[in-house]
Chain A
């Protein structure tokens, strides 16, 4: 990056450190923090949407839909999330390739041949001719799907509980005013449920942040991958030889995550204050009594 970094062997002390920390691989390491933040930005709304649909399905008057919603919300209670992180991407990948192979290949050839999963070249996903970044993006998309699936189930649980917590009297009053079920959902139930959902959702956000290093398990080149790569001891054949520095890299990751959760907690506390305004809850009542407009 800097001109003086051209010959790392000649460097000493602070200059060496500066050049070391701005080397090409370190830039990739810093960029991978962006991957984590990007994953959070994509997964959180996707999970919320899935959770919302799951919660609505669980409350549905149609029995099969209700069973699907309830089962979906219940799966995270009994099964470790890591199992889903390992299962969902590979199952999804094989599902897509199987569907494509039924359309694009000779359907008489079975996909499972012994211990192999074989589809013809035209059905590969992504195509083996496609460039490297398509493969990377596909891998990340599968990871996002896995995260959204697991956290959608968590969110379905939280939102289902929150919908049940909205006082019955509110909904009955709406009925008395002649609103249709859809109007009640949209105008009364959904606006009021957020204050009940917030503690659960904020916890979920914290769990989601703390689950992001599991990207490493899915083969994405994330911060854990780079911390292991860069921290491992480097012999003198490398430009910047050093001993086993993994502990420092993981310490940096620890500090990064502590910062993330700390900032999140501050924001959540402020949001909780805003959502409690005008609500028929203890926090809302306390606010009304104090006469605050915060």
Chain B
């Protein structure tokens, strides 16, 4: 009996010890358009990590809609780090999941956003409807494609960018609301996610203009070879800040805090910043940004924190049930 027990224990420990000794793994739970960027970044980080004398690390990636990914982590997906589309989604890891402290955004430079993006217009080649700025989107006969802000993180940036433009030009909240109402009355389809809208615009050939993340627009352009679409930068847009965070509860349980922290910090290194720029994210480091200044047009950019009081204010005001977005669809 004793011998059998001991054998079992030995076997069990061999099984448990096995994978840990072989290679440590790190799970990065991210959103849709970062797939290509992180597969290249993971390889670069692994090299850097081993050069510092650590054992090799295997980084697994998971991609999906930002909100869905946050819910998966809250429900128990053992993410070591999250790299999502908006701070509001990571806030929920604190509020509902109790997985991270409230001040998570102060733990890394630049409010924990190592790279940024913005919202631009993707139009058909030659720009047949002569779309130059947000004003052109509310003209009758212009068809605008954007996902539903209630289900898509990206679409919330689109909405806020349009709002910021209208507010600055027209002045009052009511006028801004009328403006976005006109804009959304030009939207024939509200897809549930950014990828769905891209399919509607690119493959199904619906709409005159797609409101898109700058990095997604560049990606679509790269894939099409640049002879079907062109990018139009509006006069004013929003600084989209996709943040990153170590998931404290998970790294403590798995003993991966050191490598998880190093992984996120490496996003701020010169190499990490260059890779982000290569994949069409705007780098935070001004020197690296200057290297890529040709790629990214200079824009007047508002931010959620300064101009909207942060996601904690903007989310309920605009997008929760009964918010501004619901109001513009209410039947009079």
Is the A/B pair a real complex?
Answer: no
